Chain A
Amino acid sequence: MRDYLKAYAQSRCRKLDDICVEILEGFMTLRPFERGLKIHVPMSLRSRVAEDQKWVQLNFFLSDEMTLKVNQLCEELAAGAAASANSHYISRAAVLYTALYWFVKYMRPAQLEPAKVDLGDLA
């Protein structure tokens, strides 16, 4: 996912951090989690999967203001999910991962490079 986001950032001549912030802003403004998007747990926190497949953590820098907003959103989501069995899923890492997941899966899914045409032996 990181490599794809990096390629996306490069294609728009932007830095990965800037793109991540843009995604996060969109995620918090549009609030897709209120319309059916579940909060996903990052792979690196799914201990068994992380060990098996060597998932690594993706870090990015946020401004103080943005960090505050993310924390507020986490609290809001945790309060909303308190009654459900999945309340332990809500964490700052999960919210950030879900924002990136939302973008890569639904907003800007990757395209498959067109296969090369096999022209056979024309010589």
Chain B
Amino acid sequence: MSETLLQIPLQELQVDPNQPRRELESIHSDTEFRTLQGLAESITRIGILQPLRVRKLAQGSYQILSGHRRFEAAKLAQKEAVPCIVVECSDKPGDVRLAQITENVQRKAMTSSELAWSVEELVKAGLSQAEVAHKLGVSESQISVLARISRLSALVSQAFHSGQIKSPRAAYDLDRLAPELQRQVLGEGSPDKRSSIGQKDVQLIKDSWKFNSQRKSHPFVAPALPPKEFTALEEALKAEIDDNYDPQSDLDSFFGPDRPLDSVQELHQAAPAAPALVRLPRLKLSQARRLIQLICYAERRPEPKFSSPDRDPSADELTRWLSSALKALR
């Protein structure tokens, strides 16, 4: 099959009414229009990197095989001509359809994790998030979510990079929830751990928690601040006048009777509660094993047997064992 690269004026290109890209039907929707606008901006700045694939029609014009979005975006960018690869293709509907889908089947999109890493590198290189968004032709909020991926908590980060969490937005939303809820969404400690978590799963738990948290409960664990921020807050609360005030009665009135976090417990009823984990520093496998040996030696108990004796224990198993052991030591 011979191929020729040409600059073809837009008016000579025809859209295939039966093309397989169904999402282009919603071109008049706000979301699709914004995405196309991003692509158009990118085309204005750096041009079309990947030529469209077209076939010549009998009347002299060209029909687009792949590149419908690039074509629509080029129109938005008011380009006169676009680079096209003209391929020889018969008029048989089967051949046309095959040529249309081949490129999309062969293409492998970057994973969210790879994309997040690339954005992080760009931000590290000194570009602002707004600049990155502008250069890539995407919204600033998308870049803000991707940039946050590098600062995810260990639990969410592990789930995201292992592919358990599919979208960066889901990881971003999950990271903002309380650790108990994060463990619940991820199915930590539950026998049927979810293999795929989307934004809807996070939203569901978030809504459920929001509903339950309308009921105040006491004691409620206040957010823990890093030492620097904690000291700054303490400084801010230093008053010039002293209060002669006992908050105990107001605490009970404001937060209700003293009871455990019932709403979280209710949320956990579906799955067995995971033991609370003690935050551990990053350890090498050898370090973790040595630590386990030391704990067993100190407590004079046999070393634990993990699920598969032939293989190394998983990071999850080690964390769980060490957490419970360190908690008992406390």
- Chain A interface (Cβ < 8 Å from any Cβ of B): 1, 3-4, 7-8, 10-14, 26, 29-30, 32, 35-38, 40-41, 43, 46, 101, 104-117, 119, 122-123
Contacts and interface: CB of A to CB of B under 8 A. Distances in A.
Given A1-B237, A114-B279, A37 B245 contact: yes
B223 A104 contact: no
A107 B279 contact: no
Interface stretch (B15-23, B113-121, B247-255): B247-255
Interface in B53-76: none
Interface stretch (B38-46, B164-172, B206-214): B206-214
B302 interface: no
Contacts of B245: 32, 35-37, 106
B241 A38 contact: yes
A74 B170 CA distance: 45
Contacts of A3: 229, 233
B287 A110 contact: no
A13 B213 contact: yes
B215 to A, nearest CB: 11
Given A13-B210, A30-B254, A123-B287, A36 B246 contact: yes
A26 B254 contact: yes
Nearest to B244: A36
9 contacts: A11-B223, A13-B177, A26-B250, A30-B254, A35-B245, A108-B222, A112-B225, A113-B224, A119-B283
B297 interface: no
A11 B178 contact: yes
Contacts of B239: 38, 40, 101
Interface of B: 176-178, 206, 209-210, 213, 220-227, 229-230, 233, 236-237, 239-247, 250-251, 253-255, 279-281, 283-284, 286-287, 290-291, 294, 326
Given A30-B253, A123-B287, A107 B247 contact: yes
Contacts of A106: 245, 247, 250-251
Contacts of B177: 13
A119 B130 CA distance: 41
Contact of A113 (B220, B226, B233): B226
Q: Which of B245, B254, B280 gathers most chain A CB within 10 Å?
A: B254
Top 5 A-B residue pairs of the complex, sorted by shortest distance between their CB atoms: A36-B245, A106-B247, A36-B244, A7-B223, A13-B210
Nearest to B293: A122
A104 B210 contact: no
A14 B283 contact: no
Nearest to B209: A13
B174 to A, nearest CB: 12
Contacts of B237: 1, 101, 104-105
A13 B264 CA distance: 13
Nearest to B254: A26
B286 A123 contact: yes
A9 to B, nearest CB: 9
B328 to A, nearest CB: 14
A107 B225 contact: no
A65 B244 CA distance: 31
B225 A12 contact: no
Nearest to A1: B236
Nearest to B237: A105
A36 to B, nearest CB: 4
B32 to A, nearest CB: 30
